[in-house]
Amino acid sequence: MLKHIPKSLSPELLKVLMEMGHGDEIVLADGNFPTYSHTNKAIPLSGVSIPTVLEDVLTLLPLDSYADFAVVYMMHGPETETPEIWSTYAEILGKTDNSQFAPYKLGRFAFYERAKKAYAIVATSETAIYANVILKKGIIEKEHKCVHRNEEDIC
């Protein structure tokens, strides 16, 4: 057991987040997304919503400040209004100090093609439609905290 690890993040997802490098992307997929036909690296998170996973992932994952778009939403079709869940995502981006990242909206089929190139896809049980999100990993630009260990500070 570890302290301060969000409960929605499985050991497999934590491993993937650690393995990812600068510029790698991860998809948070809703329950309707064709996850298993789009990747060989699927991470099942049954019973978990995307807002929960998004907030928890963003407590650990730095977004790519050098990319044109580090957050990508699957664009809704002309037959639907802007998904309500997007306002929840905006709140989460603000709460996790990521409000500077304006989400890019990508059409459904273009989103599918981009998802196929992602490092991994997280299969959630999210029921909201057009709730899918791609996150591009950035870098940690500076350490925020030093640790005192064995008579020395490690920064």
What stretches of the chain adopt beta strand conformation (E)? 25-29, 42-45, 71-74, 104-106, 120-124, 133-136, 147-149, 152-154
Could you say which of 64, 73, 89, 119 is catalytic?
64
Catalytic residue flag (residue 64): yes
148 is catalytic: no
Q: Taking the CA atoms of the chain, what radius of gyration do you get in angstroms?
A: 16
| Catalytic annotation present for 68 | no
Residue 96: partners with Cβ closer than 8 Å, 6 or more residues away: 55, 58, 59
- Of 24, 76, 104, 112, catalytic: 112
- Which of 22, 36, 66, 97 does the annotation list as catalytic? 22
- Contact between 131 and 125 under an 8 Å Cβ cutoff? The reply is no
Residues known to be catalytic? 22, 64, 112
